[in-house]
Amino acid sequence: MQYRSRLLLVLALSTSTVTAVSSVAAAQTPPSAAQRQEAGRHFRSGVESYQRGDYSAALAEFQTAYRVAPHHSVRVNIANCFMHLGRPIDALNHFESFIAEAMTAGGIPPQQRREVESQITELRSQVAEVQVRIEPASVRDPIITVDGQPANASGVVRMMPGRHTVEVTADGYATGRQEFTASAGQRADLNIALRPPTPVAATTTTTTVANTAGTATAASTTVAANAQPINTTQTTEPTTTTSTGPSTTTTNNDGAAATGSTPPTVGAGNDVVAPPSDRPRGLPLPVFIGAAAGTGAFAITWGVMGGLALQANGAFNTIATRIESGNAEPTDPQRGEDAARRARTFAAVSDVMMAVTAAGAIATTVIAINTRWSSAPRSSSVALVPTFAPGAAGLAIGGSL
For residue 153, give the CATH number of its domain: 2.60.40.1120
- Together in a domain, 101 and 154: no
- Tell me the torsion sign for CA atoms 374, 375, 381, 386: negative
Residue 262 has pLDDT above 70, yes or no: no
- 206 forms beta bridges with 220
Question: Domain for residue 395, yes or no?
Answer: no
User: Domain of 166?
Assistant: 128-193
Is 382 in contact with 399 (CB distance < 8 Å)? Answer: yes
Q: Are residues 115 and 43 in the same domain?
A: yes
Q: Which residue has the higher pLDDT, 357 or 390?
A: 357
Dihedrals phi, psi of 190, to nearest 5 degrees: -130, 110
CB 110 within 8 A of CB 134: no
CA distance linking residue 251 with residue 193, whole number of Å = 69
* Interatomic CA distance for residues 232 and 369, integer angstroms: 13
Residue 81 lies in a domain: yes
Are 25 and 98 members of one domain? yes
What's the pLDDT at 217?
A: 45
Instruction: Answer yes or no: do 138 and 25 share one domain.
Output: no
Residue 364: is its pLDDT beyond 90? no
> Which of 105, 124, 143 finishes a domain?
124
Residue 312 within any structural domain of the chain = no
**Residue 246: pLDDT above 90?**
no
- What pLDDT does residue 309 have? 85
Residue 110 lies in a domain: yes
304, amino acid identity: V
Could you give the CA distance from residue 65 to residue 167 in angstroms, rounded to a whole number? Answer: 35
What per-residue confidence (pLDDT) applies to 355?
92
Give the three-class secondary structure for 223. strand
- Least confidently predicted of 16-20, 30-34, 53-57: 16-20
pLDDT value of position 366:
86
In terms of domains, do 102 and 9 share one?
yes
Mean pLDDT taken over the chain: 74
Q: How many domains, in total, are found in the chain?
A: 2
Residue 73 counted as domain residue = yes
> Same domain, yes or no, for 137 and 102?
no
Q: Is residue 304 part of a domain?
A: no
Strand residues in 34-171 grouped as ranges (E):
128-135, 143-146, 149-150, 156-159, 162-169
Q: State yes or no: pLDDT of 251 exceeds 60.
A: no
pLDDT surpasses 80 at 31? yes
Q: What is the pLDDT of residue 368?
A: 85
Q: Region 70-74: what's the mean pLDDT?
A: 92
Say if residue 100 is in the same domain as residue 189: no
Do the beta carbons of residue 134 and residue 155 sit within 8 Å? no
For range 326-347, the mean pLDDT: 83
16 and 116 together in one domain: yes
pLDDT over 80 at 294, yes or no: yes
Mean pLDDT of 201-219: 47
Domain boundary among 67, 99, 124: 124
Give yes or no for residue 384 having a pLDDT over 80: no
Same domain, 108 and 120: yes
User: Is 347 in contact with 354 (CB distance < 8 Å)?
Assistant: no
Task: For residues 112 and 134, state if they share a domain.
Answer: no
Angle value at C-alpha 371, between 365 and 374, nearest 5 degrees: 140
* pLDDT higher than 60, residue 40: yes
Element (H, E) at 273: strand 271-273
Q: Residue 248 — φ and ψ, nearest 5°?
A: -130, 160
Between CA 280 and CA 258 the distance in angstroms is 31
Q: Are residues 71 and 100 in the same domain?
A: yes
Is 25 inside a domain boundary?
Answer: yes
Q: Both 87 and 158 in a single domain?
A: no
Q: How far apart are CA 303 and CA 353, in angstroms?
A: 9
pLDDT at residue 401, rounded to an integer: 41
Q: In this model, does residue 25 exceed pLDDT 80?
A: no
Domain boundary pick from 193, 217, 246: 193
Residues of the chain above pLDDT 70, percent: 65
Asked whether residue 53 is assigned to any structural domain, the reply reads yes
DSSP label at residue 85: T
For range 295-319, the mean pLDDT: 89
